């Protein structure tokens, strides 16, 4: 029997429905690339590394019931050498991605360099390889556009930074007008977050979902997320953002050509 498929906005046929996430998350990779955003990249990396310190017992404000275990968290890159971020910060990745590398969670941050990733087949193959292997894919800000164009998204609701929301909607992706700080599609293992403001809450919510309420509570206290948005971190949909239609349109006019150019322009880039 053939696997049911559905067609994405780009016409790529992807499996309809998906298996559950890995029973136990043992590794997380955050992708660093030329002109990625400092906040979009480093904030989730720090939160995930903080989660690793909690699961291993290095941070233990109380004795947890669960046994300690290791969690491998890395900043990864497509090529060796220094990654220059969008504001000029230089970082060196923990490892360079191999053709067969798989992580239980793959995280694609946003940044002004995300427009170039739209035509980088290495990134599309990376995302599809992880998704086909049953891994979790997460993205924030304009990185959501890279995830969307990889071909793994069907009709799942997505959230993203306002600057690229119009472009995604124009290609048929389901970006509700009332944007949420994060949206988890747990059945298809796709998580999306808004821009830099939503990265903290979204990353902590992802940790709480896959590592449990106790770890989520400790991590949310470490990064003051619980004090900021409360028990929302235990929900699969984050708080609703305010809408500023005129301002959003101005920012879309300015940033969309850079962050999420139309398909024909992306193909020519």
Q: Is residue 27 part of a domain?
A: yes
In a domain, 135, yes or no: yes
Q: What is the pLDDT of residue 267?
A: 54
| β-pair type (90-92, 190-193) | unpaired
| Reported pTM | 0.90
Q: Which residues pair with 91 in a beta bridge?
A: 83
In a domain, 6, yes or no: no
Which pair of tokens denotes residue 194? Answer: 């808004």
Residue 257 lies in a domain: yes
Which of 196, 172, 184 has its CA nearest to residue 37? 196
Q: List, edge to edge, every strand of the sheet that includes 105-108.
A: 95-96, 72-77, 27-32, 105-108, 136-140, 190-193, 182-185
| List of E strands, the chain | 5-7, 13-15, 27-32, 72-77, 82-84, 90-92, 95-96, 105-108, 136-140, 182-185, 190-193
Q: Are 115 and 200 in contact (CB under 8 A)?
A: no
Residue 210 Cα distances to 31, 48, 202, 203, angstroms: 20, 12, 12, 11
Q: How many domains does the chain have?
A: 1
Give domain status of residue 34, yes or no: yes
Tens place of pLDDT per residue across the chain (269 aa): 223 333 334 434 344 334 455 668 999 999 999 999 999 999 999 999 999 999 999 999 999 888 999 999 999 999 999 999 999 999 999 999 998 999 999 999 999 999 999 999 999 999 999 999 999 999 999 999 999 999 999 999 999 999 999 999 999 999 999 999 999 999 999 999 999 999 999 999 999 999 999 999 999 999 999 999 999 999 999 999 999 999 999 999 999 999 999 887 655 54
CATH of the domain at 84: 3.40.50.880
Instruction: State both tokens at 205.
Output: 């919510």
Residue 159 lies in a domain: yes
Q: Report yes or no on 3 lying in a domain.
A: no
Residue 107 domain flag: yes
pLDDT at 249 (0 to 100): 94
Distance CA 132, CA 154 (A): 14
**Dmax over Cα atoms in the chain, in whole Å?**
56
Whether the CB-CB separation of 43 and 204 falls below 8 Å is answered with no
Encoding tokens for residue 23? 């029973």
| Residue 92, strand partner residues | 82
Is-contact 219 157, C-beta < 8 A? Answer: no
Q: Domain limits at 154?
A: 22-268
Q: What's the sign of the alpha-carbon dihedral 138, 144, 146, 148?
A: positive
- Distance in angstroms (rounded) separating the CA atoms of residues 165 and 179: 9
Closest CA to 269 of 145, 120, 122: 120
Q: 202, 238 in Cβ contact below 8 A?
A: yes
Calculate the CA 102 to chain-centre distance. Answer: 16
Task: Check residue 16 and give its pLDDT.
Answer: 38
Q: What's the chain's Rg over C-alpha atoms?
A: 18
């Amino acid at each position: 029997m053939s696997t049911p498929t559905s067609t994405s906005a780009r016409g790529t046929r992807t499996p309809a429905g998906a298996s559950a996430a890995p029973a136990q998350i043992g590794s997380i990779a955050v992708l660093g690339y030329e002109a990625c955003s400092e906040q979009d990249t480093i904030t989730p990396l720090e939160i995930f590394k903080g989660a690793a310190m909690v699961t291993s017992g290095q941070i233990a404000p109380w004795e947890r019931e669960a046994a300690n275990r290791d969690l491998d968290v890395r900043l990864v890159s497509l090529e060796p050498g220094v990654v220059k971020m969008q504001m000029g910060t230089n970082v060196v990745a923990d490892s360079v991605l191999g053709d067969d590398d798989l992580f239980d969670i793959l995280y694609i941050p946003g940044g002004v360099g995300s427009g170039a990733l739209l035509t980088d087949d290495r990134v599309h193959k990376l995302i599809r390889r992880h998704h086909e292997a049953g891994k979790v894919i997460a993205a924030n800000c304009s990185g959501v556009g890279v995830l969307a164009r990889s071909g793994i998204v069907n009709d799942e609701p997505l959230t993203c930074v306002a600057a690229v929301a119009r472009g995604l909607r124009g290609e048929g992706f389901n970006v509700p007008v009332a944007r949420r700080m994060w949206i988890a599609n747990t059945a298809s293992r796709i998580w999306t977050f808004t821009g830099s403001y939503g990265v903290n809450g979204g990353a902590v919510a992802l940790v709480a979902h896959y590592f449990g309420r106790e770890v989520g509570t400790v991590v949310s206290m470490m990064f003051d997320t619980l004090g900021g948005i409360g028990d929302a971190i235990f929900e699969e949909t984050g708080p609703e953002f305010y809408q500023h239609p005129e301002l959003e349109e101005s920012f879309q006019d300015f940033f969309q050509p850079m962050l999420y150019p139309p398909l024909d322009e992306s193909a020519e880039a």
